[in-house]
Amino acid sequence: MKRNIAIIAGGDSSEHDVSLRSAQGIYSFMDKERYNVYIVEVTGLTWKAHLENDTYSTVDKNDFSFQVGDNKVKPDYCYITIHGTPGENGLFQGYLDLLRIPYSTSGVLVEALTFNKFTLNQYLKSWGVSVSESILIRKGQTISNEEVIGRVGLPCFIKPNAGGSSFGVTKVKTPEQIQPAIELAMKEKGEEVMIEAFMKGIEISCGHYKTKKHEVALPITEVVPANEFFDYNAKYNGEVQEITPARLPQDVTDRVHKINSAIYQILGANGIIRMDYIITEGNKINLLEINTTPGMTATSFIPQQVRAAGMDMKDVLTEIIENQFD
């Protein structure tokens, strides 16, 4: 019998609609001869399965089931592609754990850790991973412009600390921009802001996954944004040049893959994760962030990298799913 696969999309962040586009991408890649595939949109407490002819079926949260005609469908596996809460911070994973439904991402602890940029950086720094200097500001706290400049310098980035999006991110160049940037980041449905030192260099992104059978280091993508940084328009409106494989010396490529593998192992990650870096002077590799539910439209980094590796997304997704059942 075919397994029932639910692609979990939507969420409560500013990237809700982007997540639905990723879900459509994953749906298009899935092996329909092997699986019954449904997109389930999770928005607040409204959960619905997308059916044919733009119809929907309300999800029963007691067992995560929904009706398709006369049949009750309960997913055997969930592929989570929510960018932000509750699918990228461990909340939805905890719900699925209670129902004993396997899923595509890492577990609750890893998701919560990777979603919190400041905490992740401090943790991985203790393992010798190079990260930028940063400051954490919680709601209600204040910080002077002088302290920001003294600790991380200018320019710097001010962004929501917990988030899966590019919303609320500002590249700050002058002291007058600091406080407005903090206010903007604090509005992005969070209560913490991260102030991060600017690192000048080559930005890259690299997907990685492991199964019980093998480990796959995908080709690296070089990111050349047309704007100040890799913002929302660069990510989703094509204002960027993406070069896969990246124009890097082989020894640097090998070191990136080695760091990816080490971080994956340190975290005890699961499924496909994407790690972003800045390569600064002297070919120093600095971690920017880790994305555990990377974009999966046809033009997103992971599908690009899979194609560059001579692989097929259908086979990769099948491998990720079946790894939970082997």
Please compute the mean of the pLDDT values over residues 208-225 and round it to a whole number.
96
Q: Residue 271: which region, alpha, beta or left (left: phi > 0; alpha: psi -120 to 50)?
A: left
| Percent of the chain residues topping a pLDDT of 90 | 88
Please compute the mean of the pLDDT values over residues 270-289 and round it to a whole number.
97
Give the whole-angstrom CA distance, residue 33 versus residue 26.
Answer: 15
Q: Can you read off the two tokens belonging to residue 101? A: 């439904």
Torsion of CA 10, 13, 14, 17, to 10 degrees: 0
**pLDDT greater than 90 at residue 188:** no
Q: Can you read off the two tokens belonging to residue 70? A: 């006369």
pLDDT score recorded for residue 299: 86
Q: What is the mean pLDDT of the chain?
A: 94
Please compute the mean of the pLDDT values over residues 285-305 and round it to a whole number.
94
Name the nearest CA neighbour of 39 among 28, 53, 30, 27: 27
DSSP SS3 for 167: coil
**pLDDT greater than 60 at residue 164:** no
Q: Residue 131 has what DSSP assignment? A: B
DSSP SS3 for 105: coil
- Pairs from 131-135 (Cβ < 8 Å, separation ≥ 24): 131/286, 131/287, 132/196, 132/197, 132/198, 132/199, 132/278, 132/286, 132/288, 133/196, 133/197, 134/194, 134/195, 134/196, 134/197, 135/194, 135/195, 135/196
DSSP SS3 for 55: coil
Contact 124, 265 (CB under 8 A): no
| Percent of the chain residues topping a pLDDT of 70 | 94
pLDDT score recorded for residue 162: 84
**pLDDT greater than 70 at residue 229:** no
Please compute the mean of the pLDDT values over residues 72-98 and round it to a whole number.
97
Report the amino acid identity of residue 311: M
Which residues, in sequence order, are CB contacts of 100 under 8 Å at separation 6+?
none
Please compute the mean of the pLDDT values over residues 48-74 and round it to a whole number.
97
Q: What is the band of 161 on the pLDDT scale with cuts at 50, 70, 90?
A: very high
Q: What is the band of 235 on the pLDDT scale with cuts at 50, 70, 90?
A: low
**pLDDT greater than 60 at residue 294:** yes
Please compute the mean of the pLDDT values over residues 254-278 and round it to a whole number.
98
